[in-house]
Amino acid sequence: MSSLPYQHGRGCFITIEGTEGVGKTTNIAYIRQCLNDHGIEPVMTREPGGTDLAESIRVLLLEPRVEPMAEMTELFLIFAARAQHLVQKIKPALDTGQWVLCDRFTDATYAYQGGGRLLDKNTIGNLENLVQGALRPDLVLILDIEPEIGLQRARQRGDPDRFEQETLHFFRRVRAAYLQRVVQDPDRYLIIDAGQPLDDVQRQIKVGLQAFLLNRHPL
């Protein structure tokens, strides 16, 4: 499609979430392709990371170390990276009408730090308001899979990072916290059953995205 029907005004902010080994990389490429088919070329980015400084914070967060990282250290590092990412990349893109497609965002904090680490959701909410103001994703795609299956896949990829070393119980809590997010605000979320064959997963994504696009810009 050659026209750019969605490029005026503030851009849309779409995030992709899920537990380990859920197939985010493949499906993010597919989401980008779907958006391209509608004349949208999104800014591609990820969390933690997305800028030079935020990527340095990502290394601190992911690399396994002998000294255990305190939960609050982890939480503040995540929001420090996010603050940088928002100011340097996400907000400028949205403000100039570009769309942003981000591999994980604050729903991951509610899932991993809230669900996985059992940190207080109000603390996360306070940091969210402080760092983001009113900014929230317009659409969150949650790729959902049984953590057992996802972890097996993730661990085949090589040395596990600090999060991938967590227990199955941890990832069950992460998954439950993601699903809880959807219940609280169903309009902004799209759950994809990522345990299905790839064709079927991508069909679900396409249908969901088309509904979102149509809803924002009825013909």
**What residue ranges bind ligand TMP (CB under 6 A)?**
24, 46-48, 78, 104, 108-109, 112-113, 163
C-beta closer to ligand TMP: residue 47 or 144? 47
Which of 135, 150, 140, 144 minimizes the C-alpha distance to 208? Answer: 140
| Choice between 26 and 96, CB closer to ligand TMP | 26
Q: Cα separation of 87 and 132, whole Å? A: 9
For residue 47, the minimal CB distance to ligand TMP (Å) is 4
CB of 200 to ligand TMP, least distance (A): 22
We find the least distance from the C-beta atom of residue 24 to ligand TMP, in angstroms, to be 6
Of 152 and 215, nearer to ligand TMP (C-beta) is 152
CB of 147 to ligand TMP, least distance (A): 12
Of the pair 167, 210, the CB lying nearest ligand TMP is at 167
Q: Is 191 helix (H, G, I), strand (E, B) or coil?
A: strand
